[in-house]
Structure 1
Amino acid sequence: MMTENIIKTLPINLFFLLTLVPIVPIVSYDYHNHQRIIQVAFLISISLLVITFFFTNKKSIFKSSLNKKNCLFFLIFLFFGYFSSLLSMERSFSSLYTFHISLLIIAMCYISTINDKRSILFIIYALLITHTSLILICLLNIVFALSEKQPLNPYIIYSGFINIRFFNQVQVFILPFLVLLLKFKSIQRIVFIILYLNLLLIFIGQARGALLSFLILSMLALALKTTMKKQILTGLICLLISCISFYILDSLNQSGAEILRTSSSGRIDLWSNTLSNLTLEHLLIGTGPGVFEMSLGNSAPFSHPHNSLIEILNEWGGVALVSCIAVIFTTLKESITYLKKHKNDVLTESIFYSFTIGIIYSLFSGVHVMPVSQTLLFIMWGLLLGRVNLMHQTPIYINRYLKFLLISLFTIACFFYLQKALQIYNNIDPDKGYIYGPRFWSVGQRF
């Protein structure tokens, strides 16, 4: 049992180590592609574990934490994704991206089988430790900026990130776990400092969506009469202290940053233009997953609309959107019901908040499309389902002929996935620069 848990958690912990520890990317020319390559390797490794399970399990029984209704919703979602891909102007790339999402869902189902408390804590601690190493590097950059009397420029402080929002998208998943660790008095001060640094960096990056997501989540937690009420209030106090600290540090260098600026950074125009271009056809199918591109005026093209609901409606179609909303709503409903019955299960509660804040932030940012945050969203989803449905797993029986067919098709699809991803990567010309908000690789070339 112990060996099985180590094998299950190893790909996840390696993913955190290789994508979050601030080392120089050695497999690509920037952090985004470095993280995407590691994500692809992570998904393939999970796929190999699933295939191995089917080969070695004579009974061919797979216990899923998804009930039949949610399985149906996911199948409908993927069916209309592939259907939209086939009718897309970029059929090959869109099919690649749809299969990429399929692998994430498979990984989520596999991760949902990890419901042992000790194994989950191991995953959470690995995430926190690796991310904290990145936070400490950023702290050094703050110290250097202040000593040199330079403005608190997030593009310098957020070491190595070509888009500072990638950094914030990972942070939001970390915050609920730091709030959870405030319960332990022996490490309370250290955790408070780490939480403070995370929130300070969010202010430095002027990530209003991340701040709003944290506030919404805190209000939700208090409304649910959580057992973590004291820790959440402490987190809000930490938020206030970090806000005051930011303005004090910012005033020392007189950079005049406005964290509470009133502009929408083009988000509202982007959403409005996307919605205005929708047709009746979008109620059934979309333009194809992964192919969104829109420019506002003379700006560089946006490769996603910075809103998960609008994106799914535009690219996957209305039926897929309804299915996606239904499965997320069911997950949240089941989680709240579980937490009301198990009020002392703070581990599941923190996973629930981590998943929820990721969903909230996806309404303002590209959480659902960037390599690390996208993977984190499905990891937290899987861990949450595993805990909530611990005693209600659905056995799925597969005979040996169907098993052979599924493994064959899946192997062929994985080969296509790797071949196409490598082909697009080899076509990238870094000398042409980056587009604003990359979708798969860091440059928006897909041909």
Structure 2
Amino acid sequence: MSTFNSDDVVFSARYFLYYLGLFFLCCALYNTVTNQVSQMYRFFAVISILLFLSVGMAFWLRIYFELEVNIHTIFSFSNPRFLNQIQVWLVIPLLYMSILNIKRNKNIIILNFALMLSVAVIIATDARGISIALFSVVILWSLIDGAWRREILTLSFKVAILGYIIKLIILSPVPGFIFGDGILDFGTIRTDSPGRLQLWKDSLSLIDFLGGGGGYFVCTSEYNDSPKFGHPHNSMLQALIEWGALAAISYCLLLASLFYKVITTNRRIVRVSGLSLLAGFAYSFVSGVLVMPLSQLLAVLSIAIFWHRLKGKSPSQKGKYTNSFSSLLLIAASLIVFSLIDMGGERIEMYQSGFLQNEQIENERVRIDFWLGHNCS
């Protein structure tokens, strides 16, 4: 309904097809993750280490050449929050695998090292939102899992302390003290709200019962220079503004169902995969976790893992689909592919035209939503 309520139906339909494509991807991953969850969780450790290196390389090089260092000097990420939005899906599974290996007397060095590096990056990038989300989920986990409570709290505390020490020694302030100005600056804890409250207040004026359609928020932001960001930094507000009240209510009910399942299930792997989702969705209430593509991919993977652990492997559906249903799936998949090709082609053409050097960029009127620039038709 929101798509047809949009000022530009074709433009909003392409957003709808994008999210439909993510749903299809989640369905495709559902049976793919059958016997590979443990391997995927171990691979999360590799991702965490690489994320740390993407931060560390920038810090070390800039310090060595005596350049300014702050949370925005992040190698390979234009915004440190994009990095944190990936991390939020990784920490809880890594904590689970580490405790499980302790129980089984297996090696935990790499898993614990990845956890400590994750903490170091979160502190170095001054990421309060993800810190609160992960802290809350760890406390919730310890409250509902009495058998593992001691291990959860003990390991979390150790990882947090050692991660902070790694941050001090390897990232800041010790490297700056040795190679830079010789000043030990331990930084301060921010207590302000970086425009969130005003952003949410401005966003309320965009609410429509039917929704404005996909891309409505970012287009309004670019055309009117208000609100000041490309998305409301709140997934519930995003659903309400773009997809309407019914979609927002459905979203809240799904989250409530997820929370209920996490606290009532007797299966630990279901609980852990659900807690990982809760961490991601909790962070999405103050950040664009469900907007940025890399984070979206990990969100889809995490949902597929939880879905599979909750329901188990589905029986073979071979021969059970009618020709009409198969044709409908083929048409939808084709529309998704052609829509993505069209959207990608627009961006390539726009970037080649020198769009990034134009006046709109200089006036900071271009918002980020999936990609930079040319968000609106």
Sort the TM-score into its range (normalised by shorter chain).
0.7 to 0.9
Counterpart amino acid of residue 201 in structure 2: S
* Residue equivalent to 1:292: 217
Equivalent residues in 2 for 1:177-192 (5 A)? 177-183=93-99, 184-185=101-102, 186-192=106-112
- Rounded to whole Å, the distance in 2 between the matches of 1:259 and 1:353 is 30
* Residue equivalent to 2:126: 206
Post-superposition offset of 1:228: 4.2
* Residue equivalent to 1:93: 11
Deviations 1:78-115 (A, max 9, x none): xxxxx212221233322111111111111112212235
Counterpart amino acid of residue 324 in structure 1: Y
**Secondary structure at the counterpart of residue 89 of structure 1:** coil
- Rounded to whole Å, the distance in 2 between the matches of 1:379 and 1:400 is 29
Counterpart amino acid of residue 367 in structure 1: V
**Secondary structure at the counterpart of residue 209 of structure 1:** helix
Equivalent residues in 2 for 1:53-72 (5 A)? none
* Residue equivalent to 2:137: 217
* Residue equivalent to 1:382: 304
Q: Does structure 2 retain, via aligned residues, the 8 Å contact 1:114–1:386?
A: no
- Rounded to whole Å, the distance in 1 between the matches of 2:229 and 2:349 is 22
Which ranges of 4 or more aligned residues in structure 1 deviate by more than 6 Å? 297-300, 391-396
- Rounded to whole Å, the distance in 2 between the matches of 1:375 and 1:393 is 25
Of structures 1 and 2, the one with the larger relative CO (CA 8 A, separation 6+) is: 1
* Residue equivalent to 2:369: 439
Counterpart amino acid of residue 323 in structure 1: S
Deviations 1:382-439 (A, max 9, x none): 1111111117779794312332244234424432342244224422422234767511
Mark the CA change 1:130 to 1:192 in structure 2 (over 3 Å): closer, same or farther: closer
Aligned equivalent of 2:257, options 326, 330, 346: 330
Structure 1, unaligned runs of 5 or more: 1-82
Paired positions, count: 353
Post-superposition offset of 1:244: 5.6
Counterpart amino acid of residue 116 in structure 2: Y
Equivalent residues in 2 for 1:133-148 (5 A)? 133-145=50-62, 147=64
Deviations 1:157-185 (A, max 9, x none): x2121111101111111111221232325
Equivalent residues in 2 for 1:245-260 (5 A)? 246=167, 249-250=172-173, 252=177, 254=183, 258=187, 260=189
Mark the CA change 1:226 to 1:311 in structure 2 (over 3 Å): closer, same or farther: farther
**Secondary structure at the counterpart of residue 372 of structure 2:** coil
Q: Does structure 2 retain, via aligned residues, the 8 Å contact 1:300–1:436?
A: no
Mark the CA change 1:400 to 1:299 in structure 2 (over 3 Å): closer, same or farther: closer
TM-score (norm 1): 0.70
Counterpart amino acid of residue 126 in structure 1: F
Q: Does structure 1 retain, via aligned residues, the 8 Å contact 2:5–2:212?
A: yes
Counterpart amino acid of residue 197 in structure 2: I
Aligned equivalent of 1:316, options 235, 240, 243: 243
Counterpart amino acid of residue 234 in structure 1: L
1:306 is aligned to 2:233: yes
* Residue equivalent to 1:398: 321
**Secondary structure at the counterpart of residue 264 of structure 1:** coil
**Secondary structure at the counterpart of residue 295 of structure 2:** helix
- Rounded to whole Å, the distance in 2 between the matches of 1:350 and 1:395 is 29
Aligned equivalent of 1:174, options 75, 90, 103: 90
Post-superposition offset of 1:148: 5.3
Deviations 1:201-237 (A, max 9, x none): 1111111101111111111111112554314431233
- Rounded to whole Å, the distance in 2 between the matches of 1:286 and 1:175 is 34
Q: Does structure 1 retain, via aligned residues, the 8 Å contact 2:6–2:12?
A: yes
- Rounded to whole Å, the distance in 2 between the matches of 1:302 and 1:197 is 30
Of residues 119-128 and 393-402 in structure 1, the stretch that sits farther from structure 2 once superposed is 393-402
Mark the CA change 1:89 to 1:439 in structure 2 (over 3 Å): closer, same or farther: same
Aligned equivalent of 1:242, options 140, 156, 163: 163
1:104 is aligned to 2:31: no
Q: Does structure 2 retain, via aligned residues, the 8 Å contact 1:425–1:441?
A: no
Q: Does structure 2 retain, via aligned residues, the 8 Å contact 1:152–1:204?
A: no
- Rounded to whole Å, the distance in 2 between the matches of 1:265 and 1:170 is 21
Mark the CA change 1:436 to 1:131 in structure 2 (over 3 Å): closer, same or farther: farther
- Rounded to whole Å, the distance in 2 between the matches of 1:147 and 1:193 is 25
Post-superposition offset of 1:256: 5.1
* Residue equivalent to 1:430: 356
**Secondary structure at the counterpart of residue 72 of structure 2:** helix
